[in-house]
Amino acid sequence: MKFTKMQGIGNDYVYINKMEEHIDDEVSLAKYVSNRHYGIGSDGLILIDKSDIADFKMTIYNTDGSEAEMCGNGIRCVGKYVYDKHLTDKEEITIETKAGIKTLQLNIEDGVVKTVRVDMGEPILDPKLIPVKGDTTPLTDLKIKEQDREFIFTCVSMGNPHAITFVDDVDNFDVLKYGKGIESNPLFPNRTNVEFISVKDEGHIDMRVFERGVGETMACGTGACAAVVASIINNYTKRKVEVTLLGGSLDIEWNE
């Protein structure tokens, strides 16, 4: 079976073209290839397939075999994959995901994709749709006690659930200690991605993420978008923000 290993600012996945390869058990394959000791090693498996409603379809599996709705870095890599491998010659393409159809703008230099801009769609702030057990929209004051600390979360969905909390020094924060328990807290019916962020100024935040079904990852595109939404509705930043993650930086803009 042919595969391609790709990463978006350190958020790495194994990519397989389902239009050419046959897979009997996608969940088992995802667990196998993601294993960093016995497999290829990745944050998960992404399958690229034909779609009846978009240019291509993307299916995402986490390292534990659970299916994710959307991945911002993963979909950028899909855009580069399909163009660089000559599956399309379009510079604007649509991708079918479990979070809906996303539009990608490809920036081409010397015949290959240099950068990708993704229209992530409107953030979801209704607790019932995120989903999270809360009453107010937006939900900016969800209190969760995890071990020896109490956190206040803002909850956002970018097609997948995110819980964002603000900390003073994210660089020295123990993400693994607190992330796992929060991810599976009963307040989140489908579990949640957990973002810990420090606001540097109105145009820059630092972020680390405990990704649902994976653990701490180098980056998370949907998480970066959710973190910017949370920063804006809490009046910490303007609408265009640079998000610095362990693997690099993303430019995020929430267009009015």
Catalytic residues: 71, 220
For the record, the structure tokens of 191 come out as 């579990």
CA dist 42 and 197 (Å) reads: 24
| Distance between CA atoms of residues 73 and 246, nearest Å | 13
Residues in the chain: 256
62/43 Cα distance (integer angstroms): 6
Residues 6+ apart with CB under 8 A from 212: 62, 66, 68, 160, 161, 183, 191, 192, 193
**Nearest to residue 158, comparing CAs of 90, 230, 208?**
230
Q: Which of 44, 53, 110 is nearest to 73 (CA)?
A: 44
Beta strands 11-17 and 4-8: pairing type?
antiparallel
| Residue pair 159/121 in contact by the 8 Å Cβ criterion | yes
Q: Which residue intervals of the chain are DSSP H helices?
A: 26-34, 72-84, 175-183, 221-233
